Structure 1
Amino acid sequence: MKQFQYQRASTQQSVLDAISKPGTKIIAGGTNLVDHMKHGIIAPDKLIDITHLPLKGITPTKTGIHLGTLALNSVVSEDPLVLQKQPLLSMALKAGASQQLRNMATVGGNMMQRTRCTYFYDTTMPCNKREPGTGCGAMEGYNRMHAIFGASAQCIAVHPSDMCVALAALDASVVVVGKKGQRHIPFTEFHRLPDDHPELDNHLGKDEMIIGVDIPDNNFAKNSYYLKVRDRQSYAFALVSVAAALELSGTTIKKARLAMGGVAHKPWRLFEAEKFMEGKPVAEDTFKQAAQIAMQGAKAYENNAFKLKLAPASIVEALKHAAGIV
């Protein structure tokens, strides 16, 4: 590992000053960044530690809940306010990683983690995300874990987060700050699709840092479910995951929210399927039709064609659980 400088930030402004210089990376829990440094994927000149900044709070707001960027995944998942108002987020967090990692991982760090594609981690293999212009090893390689939505000729990797799938479904927004001030980015627009620049993971400016996430109030608490299909029960990334949330009026679907993980370069929100379900009855047939709508545009590769059947089946299963008709 390359030698680097380390600085503990005492103010938000000191962080912004530091990251404006090339070669500087923010570190908090470090559960993903340190892996990248060990594998030789990145070699920063300087790390700036933000763990002592007052950004760990989980607080009610006039319109919902604010999660500080340094709030630990384990703490968020057990917070009474989150459990009461946004249980879908708690379910997703508990489905992610191991308890030890959740005890270190932060909200902001979870959002900023990069793909777990094996070709990205193997520096002997071509990877446009790691080194633009070298090619995509997964395209003609072993691509069982890879995307069926939103991929490009440059990259077919998937985003690994469970937390982010739930936040995408819950209409959250990312609060970021830079030298030009503070702004909010809709969560569904924070992460990028690969297109011709898979090395760019999100729309965070180089001189900006995440200070939190805002989740608006909703009426989904009673009818939410997070389904994660994986190779083993503990500490495995999703083959397919589904965040499902429903607001019901009797047996009629008033509002619906759906997002998927393990299928795209970013949390994949299923807007058209949501619209279809609004005003429809709670029924397995409704959910099956929504799942078929959700799969429009899906494209498989040699080793992940099974996702074309697994994904719609997972959508139906998650919606049935959310609706309480299992």
Structure 2
Amino acid sequence: MKPFEYVRATDVASGAAAVATVSQAKFLAGGTNLVDLMKEEIERPVRVVDITQLPLRQIQRTRSGLSVGALATNTETANHPLIRENYPLLTQAIVAGASGQLRNMATNGGNLMQRTRCNYFYDLATPCNKREAGSGCGAREGLNRIHAIMGWSESCVATYPGDMANALVALDANVRVRTTDGRERLIPAAEFHRLPGDAPQRDNTLDHGELILAIELPVGASEFARNSHYLKVRDRASYAFAMVSVAAALQLDGDTIKQARIVLGSVAHKPWRSTEAEAALVGKRISDDTFRQAAQAALKDARPLAHNTYKVELGQRSIVRALQRAARLA
């Protein structure tokens, strides 16, 4: 780990300024990802700004729904009665991630900021455009079993590894951010992370120095509470990142689907919402045939790599299973 300056933020404005004024500064919250990356010398900040004392932990009702503080831990969020009652999909997604010990430390803002688990990103001896722009993508022609099948570019085939963000996209959440000039802006969860394009070193749409304040859950998303399910398929039952995950949510009128949300995880550089699958569901009666048609629509444009063709069928089967459980057919 390289030496760095440590600063403890006492208020939001000074904490944000301490990062914004230094190009290689980073915010520190739970540290469950950043500290690991610093140990591996993948991240080399010259200044680390500790924001853990800032008043950003509240989870409370608002006129438009529910506001979840950026510094509330994953455990606090998943177990909060308002989340469990109105947004159970979010609880399921958080509990599917990491271990209990990590969830006790990890914050919501930090969860959104976590970086890929691509082996080439973590191996300093191999080329990686995310780690060093212009060096190449080792995974493109290398061992790419865990990599993207949707939205990848010649510059990067890494996937976003998180679970919470997939549920937030399905729930039409917004991320409330403090900008570098002291204003606030809302970023739709679906637009927070980005595809790699020719700049894979950028994981998200935040500008340097912008600080996540809260996650805003709309009241309308609670319509999915009765019929939603988060499915995570992985190599082992716990403490493993997904090969494929699915956030599925339905609003039903009897056995007819009024609204649907399908978001795939670990198939792209960002949570992958399939509007094609949703369109294939809306207006249809719940059935295995309907779910299979939606699953085929979701992955019809998949572009698997040499070692991850299995993700196409796995993704389709996972969508069907998640929808069955959301509709309470399984």
Q: TM-score range by the shorter chain?
A: over 0.9
Letter in 1 for 2:287: A
User: CA offsets per residue over residues 143-169 of structure 1, 9 Å max, x none?
Assistant: 000000000000000000000110011
1:295 aligns with 2:275: no
Structure 2 unaligned blocks of 5 or more: none
Who is 1:190 aligned against? 192
Residue 198 of structure 1: how far off its partner (Å): 0.2
Q: Please name the residue that 1:321 is paired with.
A: 325
The separation in 2 between residues aligned to 1:11 and 1:278, in whole angstroms, is 46
Distance in 2, matches of 1:272 and 1:141, equals 31
Three-state SS of the structure 2 residue aligned to 1:276 is helix
Partner of 2:258: 254
Show the 5 A alignment for 1:143-158. 143-158=144-159
Task: Report the number of matched residues.
Answer: 326
Q: Among 274, 279, 288, which residue is 2:283 paired with?
A: 279
- Aligned partner of 1:90 in structure 2 is 91
TM-score, L = length of structure 1: 0.99
Contact 2:8–2:15 (CA under 8 A) maintained in structure 1: no
Distance in 2, matches of 1:42 and 1:325, equals: 46
Aligned to 1:202: 204
Residues of 2 paired with 1:157 and 1:193: CA distance? 10
Distance across 1 between alignment mates of 2:274 and 2:180 = 34
For the residue of structure 2 that corresponds to 1:222, the secondary structure is coil
Post-superposition offset of 1:296 = 2.2
1:23 Cα deviation after fit:
1.7
Is 1:267 the counterpart of 2:291? The answer is: no
1:163: which partner in 2?
164
Q: Which 4+ stretches in 1 moved above 4 angstroms?
A: none
Query: Does the residue aligned with 1:175 lie in a helix, a strand or coil?
Result: strand
Q: Deviations over 1:206-262 (max 9, x none)?
A: 131110110112211110100000000110000000000001000100110110101
CA distance in 2: counterparts of 1:22 and 1:95, whole angstroms: 34
In the alignment, structure 1 residue 108 sits paired with structure 2 residue 104: no
1:179-210 C-alpha deviation (Å, 9 max, x unpaired): 33100011101101000000001110113111
Are the aligned partners of 2:302 and 2:312 in contact in 1 as well (CA < 8 Å)? yes
- The answer to whether the 8 A contact 2:19-2:25 is kept is yes
Whether 2:45 is the aligned partner of 1:31: answer no
- Aligned-residue Cα RMSD (Å) equals 0.7
CA distance in 1, matches of 2:31, 2:193: 20
User: What is the alpha-carbon distance in structure 2 between the residues aligned to residue 207 and residue 130 of structure 1?
Assistant: 19
Report the counterpart of residue 121 of structure 2 in structure 1.
120
Instruction: Give the distance between the partners of 1:239 and 1:207, measured in 2 at CA.
Output: 32
Once the two structures are superposed, residues 21-73 of structure 1 have per-residue CA deviations (whole angstroms, 9 ceiling, x without a partner) of 22211000000000110001021111110000000011111121111100100
2:307 aligned counterpart, secondary structure: coil
- 1:16 counterpart letter in structure 2: A
Mapping of 1:205-224 within 5 angstroms? 205-217=207-219, 218=221, 219-224=223-228
Asked if the contact 2:23–2:208 (Cα under 8 Å) also holds between the matched residues in 1, the reply is no
Letter matched to residue 246 of structure 1: L
Separation of aligned partners in 2, 1:22 and 1:156: 26
Structure-to-structure mapping, 1:53-92, within 5 angstroms: 53-92=54-93
Q: Separation in 2 of the partners of 1:315 and 1:30?
A: 33
2:18 matches 1:18: yes
Q: Which runs of 5+ in 1 are unaligned?
A: none
Matched-pair contact (CA < 8 Å) for 2:155–2:197: yes
Q: Which amino acid aligns with 2:198?
A: D
1:242 equivalent in structure 2: 246
AA at the equivalent of 1:175: R
Task: Give 1:276 shift.
Answer: 2.0
Structure 1 counterpart SS, 2:126: coil
What TM-score does the superposition give when structure 2 sets the normalisation length?
0.98
Letter in 2 for 1:242: V
